[in-house]
Chain A
Amino acid sequence: MKPSSFDYVRPNTLQEALELLADGTEDSKVISGGQSLVPMMNFRLARPARLVDIGRLSELEVIRTVDDRVHVGARVRHVQLQNTPLGGPLGSLLRRSAALVGHLPIRTRGTFGGSLAHSDAASEWCLLTRLLDAEITVRSIRGERVIPAAEFFVSVFTTAMEPDELLTSVALPVLPDDHRTGIAEFARRAGDFAIVAVLGDVTVSDGTVTAARIAIGGVDDKPFRSAAAEKALLGGTFGLDLLQSAAEAAADEVDPPSDAHGDAVYRRDLVRALLPRALAAGAAA
């Protein structure tokens, strides 16, 4: 339960941080809230040679709305999102998702960008960015680039970022009021990682679904977008029956892993149970 020894640096500016990440030090790792990294270091599952602590980069702690995009800084803490005054279907989804992240002490220290860079396929933020086709901005001394969420998550604990790159912010789309969003997840205990989580964003016009996005966690090694469920929803009459048939389609489509918390058959059952619940608030028959 003691980490192996490591160096520790805490840059004062973004530029300083990027220079450190580019200085050629092997196994350098960015630490933000430390809510995943520190336990992994204590278990010695992660043994970085050096930690670059970005805790002083306050410019990364800002949420800004510009036109039809909400830019969430990498160091925005989960609890800030849980309390965001942002209106509409996006604000509601952010608040409801944030409330499911760990426990209050974890939400108080852990950060949005840290969660994405950690890339756990069951994490609420990885699923939400994938659901909304968010654009993830990363920087290095070589410059800045924007990675679509669909390309950002590569596998468990692996992203498309290069070792010298730092995640700085994420652009989420403002969702008009004809969107219905929701999240439902199943965990054994309050605050645990979900065994299966489902997030949905559907656009309903005169009772008909005109656009649909469904993201599912716990069924793949990265956040999963269910093409089958989205296809099943599109053009249908929004209601419980439609959600249930979309859930069936998603359950048939996924190929989940088995572990101590549940086998593949059980996880499919959870997909069936949770997809309607994620969006049911607006679906009373």
Chain B
Amino acid sequence: MTPRTATTAPADLSAPTSPPAEPPTWTGQPVRRVEDPAILRGWGTFVGDVAARDATCLYAAFVRSPVAAGRIRSITAPPGVRLITATDLAGVRPIAPELKRPDYVRVEMPVLATDVVRFVGEPVALVLAESAALAEDALDSVAVDIEPTPAVLDAAAAVRPDSPLVHDAAFPGDPNTTVDARLTTPGFDAALQSAATVVELEVSCGRQSAMPMEARASHAAVDRGTGRVTLHTATQMPHVVRTGICDCLDLDEDLFRVVAPDVGGAFGAKMSLAREDVALVFLARRLRRNIAWIETREENFLAAWHSREQRYQLTAAFTEDGVLTALGADIVADVGAYSCYPVTFGVEPLMAFAELPGPYTIAEYSVRSRAVLSNKCPIAPYRGVSRPVQTLATERIMDVAARRLGLDPVTIRQRNLVATFPHTTPTGLVLDQASHQEALVEAARQVDLPGFRERQAAARAEGRWLGIGFSCFAERTGYGTPAFAARSMAITPGYERVNMSMDPSGGVVLRIGASPHGQGLRTSLAQLVADKLGLRPEEIRVVHGDTDATPYGWGSFGSRAMVIAGGASSRAADTLRQRLIDIAADQLECAPEDVDLREGQATVRGTGIGRPIKQLARLAHHNSHLLPAGELPSLEVSATYDPGGTFSNACHVAEVEVDELTGAVQITRFLVVEDAGLLVNPAIVDGQVHGGVVQGIANALYEELLYDDRGILVTTSLMDYLPPTLAETPDIEIIHLASVSDATLTGAKGVGEGGTIGAPAAVLNAVSDALSPLGIELTHLPATPSRVRTAIRTAQARLSSEGALR
């Protein structure tokens, strides 16, 4: 099937909120986000607002370990300070997520460190005070005495037999190795031996923080009458937080409510159970007091999950024509000191294991992928999970091989990208209908590669260093229970469920288990449902984030909500639509097949006869005796959707200019040709791409969490950890393709992570292209100015000494 090509114009901000006439469908329209007016006016309700409105709540501040590894000797505070240590939490179960795999080593994360500390920033105690400032004062007065022990700070050293152990556990394989997945296809060795050329490359990525604008925040409130606790918390998965905390506290879930109010960004960093939250709920119940905890930015850097740190040793076999026949990879992910609940520290190595071949027709694959513990902050998902590094691996391989074989970067990719669907990868994933080839070709056409080469040559003659980099990838999105079950997760996410009801006035409430936190899902779902029910999007109100008000669901992560919650909403709307049609047909005395729902009316097709939908709603509630036989009163439906998953795809292109003397990289052009299937709201999709690309550029050039040689995090403020600002952000051009895939119910594919996945490789390929006369291939993220400059300095020294030898 040929993908349709459409270029979106930039959103017209002066356009009225609702077009005067209704479009043929609301789906596909850049409808303005219903979420924005309140947020932009400061009328949102974040956890900090909930705490600020509670005059009686106590504030918690966590005492955190100043050393990477050690044994706690004592924790003391002066009289009058309300100090809580692990002893006070006796009976609370540790957080211990599990994979049911033979190579998985289960490690437990106590809510507060008991006798051993395992990373700088680990909570060892907490203090309670009447205000946040007094809690910080109390924190200052706490004395922590820890006897340091040898720390494990480097994954390569951690697996050696003489390494200290981060956890006192039995490791079936190498020391500190908690996941060790292996696979080799039968023809791998033969393919390697018959290769015309073999590219060997090591790529790696530093630690990155997802750095949501709102750090973590929670407020636990007790209903004194019932003892029931409500936790407002900045989370992506309120139902899972409830389950996790109830498991730790041995509590029935109906005694506990979790609410995710407005959440100020998350990007994966708010989809793991926080030990701080467990402590808060336990203490609120025990003390019968409301307790708030508003994390500081410094704490967020220290302890609120890191991501990305991994290293890939790669071997890639190519034919003379540039066909990649076999790919070998030894992947080590430094996962820090504990496992995150519920997805575990297998999330990065296992995703790399399964998805490294990406969009390429690689027949033979050999992989070993490990999670290795260290005395650093634990790893959790961050937008893209390991795919930015996977894509760096395959895309750097493509460019290195192209240079070696005398091919251009477009041709070598054309010879390897999947073109026929469905395509089964060496690890058994099925790529559904997509546009890998078409996206690349369109991107190359847009940037005029031959024209760029001319400009590049002219610039080089003036001593300026321009480069271009391509990056192609497949983005697995919207995967349901089967995909998670393949990882053998003890807690297996996947499905989404919705409840939909129409009230007597004809308004629709859609209750979802997904938990949007900035994505505009309330708007997009309303568009989908409005089309099914013949209503306007503003007549559909989406309720989310409250375990008391929504069906059990897994929340928003993994580019899944539009696909899965959207599919469930679409199904529910189909059922409700049919009920409205049946009622209308009975009223209008016609066949149901002849009734259409449009512009608020149920009409008999081809006639002017009809009934307002509002009238049908009132009838169903208030005159249910008039309903057709067998029709239940009121209008409530539920639906569930649990797809196998789908792959979005994109080709990113970066053009850069490198400052030879400072090593600074300026991105002069950034193009995204992406295919997420049906676009429900193209303005929202563009926003996802823009935000993702900026975080990808951050990964490529700016952001890195750095530990010193004692395991102390040195990047604990925004003076040292550097998210790019608008001043560092290029204009991002977007072209949409729209493959029609039957892998999802609505035709929409997920689009949340592609920007972060593709951008780092595009930028590093562009910088390497710029510096190719010096023979430089950059392979580490981020390529900071000092690293780029070091590469240039080293290469120039090598070239001049070689010149001297000649």
Contact = CB atoms under 8 A, between A and B. Distances in A.
A1 B297 contact: yes
A274 B136 CA distance: 43
Interface in B686-705: 702
B662 A186 contact: yes
Interface string A260-277: 111101100110111000
B565 to A, nearest CB: 35
B140 A44 contact: yes
A143 B394 CA distance: 71
A2 B661 contact: no
A186 B664 contact: yes
B107 to A, nearest CB: 30
Contacts of A44: 136, 140
B786 interface: yes
A191 B719 contact: no
B415 interface: no
B487 to A, nearest CB: 35
B662 A2 contact: no
A272 B662 CA distance: 9
Nearest to A247: B661
B251 interface: no
Given A189-B724, A190-B728, A266 B786 contact: yes
A172 B719 CA distance: 31
Interface in A218-269: 260-263, 265-266, 269
A269 B717 contact: no
Most buried by B among A263, A273, A274: A273
A188 B789 CA distance: 13
Interface in A142-187: 186
A189 B728 contact: yes
Given A186-B662, A189-B702, A193-B719, A4 B728 contact: no
A193 B659 CA distance: 19
A4 B137 contact: yes
A260 B136 contact: no
Contacts of A266: 663, 785-786, 789-790
A263 B786 contact: yes
A2 B132 contact: yes
Contacts of B197: none
B661 A269 contact: yes
A182 to B, nearest CB: 16
B727 interface: yes
A16 interface: no
Contact of B722 (A43, A186, A192): A192
Contacts of A192: 719, 722
B133 interface: yes
B614 interface: no
Given A4-B140, A260-B720, A273-B662, A188 B785 contact: yes
A187 to B, nearest CB: 10
B303 to A, nearest CB: 15
Contacts of B140: 4, 44
B706 interface: yes
A189 to B, nearest CB: 6
B721 to A, nearest CB: 9
Contacts of A189: 702, 722, 724-725, 727-728
B793 A269 contact: yes
Nearest to B61: A2
A5 B138 CA distance: 12
Among A2, A4, A192, A193, max chain B CB count under 10 A is at A2
B296 interface: yes
Contacts of B727: 189-191
Contacts of A191: 725, 727
B184 interface: no
Contact of A272 (B132, B661, B724, B784): B661
A283 to B, nearest CB: 16
Nearest to B135: A2
Nearest to B706: A260
Contacts of B784: 188
Nearest to B727: A190
Contacts of B136: 1-2, 4, 44
Given A4-B140, A44-B140, A269 B662 contact: yes
A191 B659 CA distance: 19
A43 B717 contact: yes
B495 to A, nearest CB: 40
Given A1-B296, A4-B140, A266-B790, A260 B715 contact: yes
Contacts of B297: 1
A1 B136 CA distance: 8
Contacts of A260: 706, 714-715, 720
B145 interface: no
Contacts of A262: 785-786
Interface centre among B133, B297, B661, B724 (most CB of A within 10 A): B661
B622 to A, nearest CB: 54
A269 B659 CA distance: 12
A65 to B, nearest CB: 34
Nearest to A277: B661
Residue among B133, B662, B664, B714 having the largest count of chain A Cβ atoms under 10 Å:
B662
Interface string B500-537: 00000000000000000000000000000000000000
B298 interface: yes
A219 B664 CA distance: 19
A265 B136 CA distance: 40
Nearest to A266: B786
Contacts of A269: 661-663, 789, 793
A193 B714 CA distance: 17
A189 B724 CA distance: 7
B702 A188 contact: yes
Interface string A49-90: 000000000000000000000000000000000000000000
A258 B145 CA distance: 31
Contacts of A261: 720, 786
Contacts of A186: 662, 664, 785
Contact of B133 (A2, A263, A274): A2
Contacts of B661: 269, 272-273
Contacts of B719: 192-193
A263 B786 CA distance: 8
B724 A5 contact: no
Nearest to B132: A2
Contacts of B714: 260
Contacts of A270: 662
Contacts of B137: 4-5
A272 B786 CA distance: 14
A43 B298 contact: yes
A165 B661 CA distance: 43
Nearest to B659: A273
A265 B724 CA distance: 25
A101 to B, nearest CB: 15
Contacts of B724: 189
Interface string B286-300: 000000000011100
A5 B137 CA distance: 9
Contacts of A272: 661
A92 to B, nearest CB: 23
A280 to B, nearest CB: 12
10 contacts: A1-B297, A188-B784, A189-B702, A191-B725, A191-B727, A261-B720, A266-B785, A269-B661, A269-B663, A272-B661
Interface of B: 132-133, 136-137, 140, 296-298, 659, 661-664, 702, 706, 714-715, 717, 719-720, 722, 724-725, 727-728, 784-786, 789-790, 793
Leading 10 A-B pairs by shortest Cβ distance: A273-B661, A190-B727, A2-B133, A266-B786, A262-B786, A1-B296, A2-B136, A273-B662, A188-B722, A186-B662
Interface of A: 1-5, 43-44, 186, 188-193, 260-263, 265-266, 269-270, 272-274
Given A44-B140, A186-B662, 13 more contacts: A2-B132, A3-B133, A5-B133, A189-B722, A189-B724, A191-B725, A192-B719, A192-B722, A193-B719, A261-B720, A262-B786, A266-B785, A269-B793
